[in-house]
Amino acid sequence: MAQEPETPGGGSPPPERESIWSVSEQWKALYFPLFTALTIIGAGYVVWHGITHRPPGDIHDALVAIILRLAPTIIVSAGVSFVTTELGRYTAMLSDVLREKTDKWIAKRRKEEREKIRAEGQEEAHAQRQKLWEDWNNRRMESAAKGEPFDEPPPSLN
């Protein structure tokens, strides 16, 4: 039974990569079509340039020049494709980090807003209770000053 390699810090293992291409599995769908397109475009340009700008003389010299220029074109295509896919990967990672931070910030703001609304509601409820008691007490004192009986129950007993 094969064990998965442990990673420092206990995180998940790095994504699987192709040996020579060093492209992660999830980015192959972008890397290889991009590499192919860049290679075809670059090779087409090298061939066109080699044919239209060949020095006078043997066609053999023109073919050798074209072949010698194709290798750097393929290497540049591979490099540009790799950098493009890696930038995409790092952009996706950055997007995830920013989304997580934004979600935490939004949750914090919502919690603060709920606490503020709750505190305002409690203050308002307290003020309403206080007003009920003050009104009841004013009516009781007016009745006592007039010498009338006061049989209204206190607000909390209603």
Bridge partners, residue 17, by sequence: 24
Q: Specify if 3 maps to a domain.
A: no
Q: Specify if 19 maps to a domain.
A: no
Q: Specify if 107 maps to a domain.
A: yes
Threshold 0.75, pTM exceeds: no
Quick one: which of 65, 91, 78, 95 has its CA closest to 18? 78
Q: Specify if 88 maps to a domain.
A: yes
Element counts in the chain: helices (H) and strands (E): 2, 0
Q: What's the one-letter identity of residue 124?
A: E
pLDDT for 1 equals 44
Domain of 118, in residue numbers: 24-157
Q: Specify if 87 maps to a domain.
A: yes
pLDDT for 22 equals 67
Residue 27 burial (CB count, 10 A): 20
Q: Give the C-alpha distances (Å, rounded to integers) separating 129 from 14, 46, 122, 124, 132.
A: 62, 88, 11, 9, 5
Q: Specify if 13 maps to a domain.
A: no
**Rounded distance, CA 149 to CA 158, Å?**
19
Q: Give the C-alpha distances (Å, rounded to integers) separating 90 from 87, 95, 103.
A: 5, 8, 20
Q: Specify if 106 maps to a domain.
A: yes
Q: Specify if 5 maps to a domain.
A: no
**Rounded distance, CA 117 to CA 127, Å?**
15
Residue 123 burial (CB count, 10 A): 10
Reading the chain (158 residues) residue by residue, the pLDDT tens digits are 445 555 455 555 555 655 556 667 777 778 888 888 999 999 999 888 888 877 677 777 778 888 888 889 988 888 888 888 888 888 888 999 999 999 999 999 999 999 988 988 888 888 888 898 999 899 988 988 888 888 888 887 54
In the chain, how many domains are there? 1
**Rounded distance, CA 77 to CA 123, Å?**
68
